[in-house]
Amino acid sequence: MSSLDGFLYGFALASTWTNLGFALIGCFLGTLVGVLPGIGPLATVSMLMGMTIFLDPLSSMVMLAGIYYGAAYGGSTTAILCNLPGEASSVMSCLDGHQMAKKGRAGAALATAALASLLAGCFATAVIAFLGPVLSEYALRFNAPEYFTLLLLGIIACVLFSKGSLLKALTMAGMGIVLGTVGQDIETGAARLTFGWPLLSEGIGTVALSMGLFGLAEIILNLSHPDARQVVRYKIGSMRLTRQEFRDAAPAAVRGTLLGSLMGLLPGGGVTLSTFAAYIIEQRVSRHPERFGTGMIQGLAAPEAANNAAAQTSFIPLLTLGIPTSASMALLLGVMIMQGIQPGPEVITKNPQLFWGVIASMLIGNIMLVIINLPLINIWVQLLKVPYRILFPIIIALCCVGAYAAEMSTVDLVALSFFTAFGVLLHSLGFQPVPLLVGFILGPLAEESLRRSMAIAGGDASVFVTRPVSAVIVGAMVLMVVVVALPKFRAKRALLTD
C-alpha cells in the first residue's frame, strides 16, 4: 500500500461520523482544560485519558490526539492573553504574542497562532504519511537486541534532556522502571514486588499513576499558590492580519514548520527545543533583531509553527518504532498497550487501520481546531476569569470518575490518591516526574526485549555491540552522554530547562 493509498484509507476511517465526533470532543475538551493557566498537554492528556479506555483503539487514539492538539492550542491562547505559558514549549509565544495583545492586536496574535499551527499540522501530516511507512519497513528488520538498545536510548534521552539535576532524573527513571515491574512476571507468573498484597498482582495502573503525577498534582500545586492570574484586560480586536503582518508571518511560519518537523523526531525535548531554535533563527534572519520581544509577529508565528510541527512528527517514532519522544507520547504509548496494541513497526502491517486512521485524523483535528476555536475565543476569555476554586473541584471529580472507570476498582482511586500526594512531594523536593513515567512505560518493554536478546545470544551480552544496528544505537547513547557532559552543553541545557 502506497503512502497516498494508505492516507486515503485512513481518511475514510477517520472521517466516519463516529470518529469525527470523537475528534471534535477531543479537540474541544483539550482546549477547555488546556486553556487554564498551569495545565499543559501532558496534564490534560493525563486527566482525560480515562475517558477513552472503553473506546475501540482507533477512536481512542483519535480522541486522545485531539485532546493533545487542543491542549497545546489552549496553552498558546493563555500565553498570548495572560502571559502564562502552560508548558515550556509555549514560553516563546509569550514574548511577542503577549506584547501584541497589549498593543490591541490580541485577535491578530491568536489568528497567527492558529494559522501557523494549521500550516505546520498539514505539512507534518504529509511528512508522517511519507516517512512513516519507510521507517516502519526498515524497522521490521529489527530483532530483540535492536529493540532493547532503542528502548534504552529513549529512557536515557529522557533523563539527559529532563529539567533539573541529572542525578535526580536518573533516580526517577530507575524508580519508574521498578514500579513497572510490580505484578506478575510475564514468563514465570511469579509475583514481583507485591509484598503479599493480591491487589498488586495485576500491576500498577497507567491511568492512576499518570493522572496522579501529572493531573491532580498539577491542580494541587496551582491551588497552593495565591490566585494571582492576570485577568485579561485587553480587547481581542480584529482577527484579520494586515498585508504587512501576513508578509512577515508567512515566511517565519514556513521556517518554523520545517525546523519543527525535523526536531520532532529527536528524543527528549525536541518539541520544546524547536520553539527556542525557531525564535533564535528568526532573530538572526531579521533586519531588526532588537525589536523582538516588543510584539514582532515573526516571533510568534515561527515558534507556534515549530511547536505544532514537532508535536505531530513526534508521532513517527511512536507509531513506527514504539518509542515515545516525550512524556505525552509515552502516555499515548501506554494507551496503545492498554488497548492490546503491541507498539512497534508491526503496527502498520497488523493494525493498518490504526496507523493510517491516526495520521489522517491529524489533518482533520488541526482543521477542527481552527474552526471551533477562533469563533469561541470569547468563551475561552471568560473561562480564564473563572477562579480556580470553582473550576478545579469539577476537574478533580472528573479525574476520579475516569480513574475508577478504567478498571471499575476502588484500588485505582487509592492509587490515584497516593500518586497525587507523591507527585506533590516530588515537586517540593525538586524531582521531575517525567522520567518516572517514561521508565514506567518503557521499562517492561525493555525487560522483555532484554530477555529475548539473552535467549537469542545464549546469555552473551556482546550481542548488543556485535550486531550493526544495535552497535550504532549504543554508540549514539555513548555520544549523547559525552555531549551532555560537556560544560558548554550543560550551561545551555540549564538555560533551556529552567
Burial class (CB in 10 A: 0-12, 13-18, 19+), 33: buried
**The pLDDT of residue 73:** 78
pTM (two decimals): 0.77
Which residue's C-alpha cell is 507520547? 329
**The pLDDT of residue 475:** 87
- Which one is predicted more confidently, 359 or 374? 359
Domain-embedded: residue 128: yes
Q: Is the pLDDT of residue 176 over 80?
A: yes
pLDDT tens digits, residue range 134-169? Answer: 777 776 677 788 888 888 887 887 787 777 778 888
Q: Report the alpha-carbon distance of residue 442 to residue 176 in Å, rounded.
A: 9
Q: Is the pLDDT of residue 87 over 70?
A: no
Show Cβ contacts of residue 121 under 8 Å, excluding neighbours closer than 6 positions: 69, 308, 309, 312, 362, 363, 365, 366
Domain-embedded: residue 460: no
Query: What is the average per-residue pLDDT within 228-249?
Result: 70
Query: What is the average per-residue pLDDT within 82-101?
Result: 73
Q: How confident is the model at residue 447 (pLDDT cuts 50, 70, 90)?
A: confident
- Which one is predicted more confidently, 383 or 20? 20
Q: Report the alpha-carbon distance of residue 260 to residue 347 in Å, rounded.
A: 25
> By residue range, what is the domain housing residue 221?
3-145+206-440
**The pLDDT of residue 233:** 56
Domain-embedded: residue 280: yes
**The pLDDT of residue 429:** 86
Show Cβ contacts of residue 10 under 8 Å, excluding neighbours closer than 6 positions: 353, 355, 356, 357, 358, 359, 360, 361
- Residues of the chain with pLDDT > 90, as a percent, come to 0
Of 438, 497, 450, 473, the closest CA to residue 155 belongs to: 438
The helix/strand/coil state of 182 is: coil
The helix/strand/coil state of 192 is: strand
How many residues appear in the chain?
498
Domain-embedded: residue 197: no
Of 162, 35, 67, the closest CA to residue 426 belongs to: 162
Domain-embedded: residue 317: yes
Domain-embedded: residue 236: yes
Q: Is the pLDDT of residue 437 over 80?
A: yes
Of 11, 46, 142, the closest CA to residue 467 belongs to: 142
What total number of domains does the chain contain? 1
Domain-embedded: residue 325: yes
State the CB neighbour count (10 A cutoff) for residue 411: 17
The helix/strand/coil state of 184 is: strand
Q: Report the alpha-carbon distance of residue 74 to residue 82 in Å, rounded.
A: 12
The helix/strand/coil state of 394 is: helix
Domain-embedded: residue 8: yes
DSSP 28-83: HHHHHHHTSTT--HHHHHHHHGGGGTTS-HHHHHHHHHHHHHHHHHHHHHHHHHHS
pLDDT tens digits, residue range 408-420? Answer: 667 777 888 888 8
**The pLDDT of residue 237:** 67
**The pLDDT of residue 424:** 87
State the CB neighbour count (10 A cutoff) for residue 337: 15
Q: Is the pLDDT of residue 191 over 60?
A: yes
Q: Do 308 and 290 touch, CB atoms closer than 8 A?
A: no
- Which one is predicted more confidently, 464 or 199? 464
The pairs formed by 12-20 with CB atoms below 8 angstroms and a separation of 24 or more are 13/58, 13/353, 13/356, 13/357, 13/360, 14/58, 14/62, 14/357, 14/358, 14/360, 14/361, 14/364, 15/360, 15/364, 18/59, 19/58, 19/59, 19/62, 19/357, 19/361, 20/364
Q: Is the pLDDT of residue 440 over 70?
A: yes
- Residues 314, 315, 316, 317, Cα dihedral to 10°: 70
Query: What is the average per-residue pLDDT within 455-460?
Result: 81
**The pLDDT of residue 328:** 78
Dihedral over Cα of 89, 95, 97, 98: its sign: positive
**The pLDDT of residue 493:** 53
Query: What is the average per-residue pLDDT within 228-241?
Result: 63
Q: Where are the beta strands (DSSP E) in 115-248?
A: 183-184, 191-192
Query: What is the average per-residue pLDDT within 443-460?
Result: 84
**The pLDDT of residue 293:** 77
Q: How confident is the model at residue 489 (pLDDT cuts 50, 70, 90)?
A: low
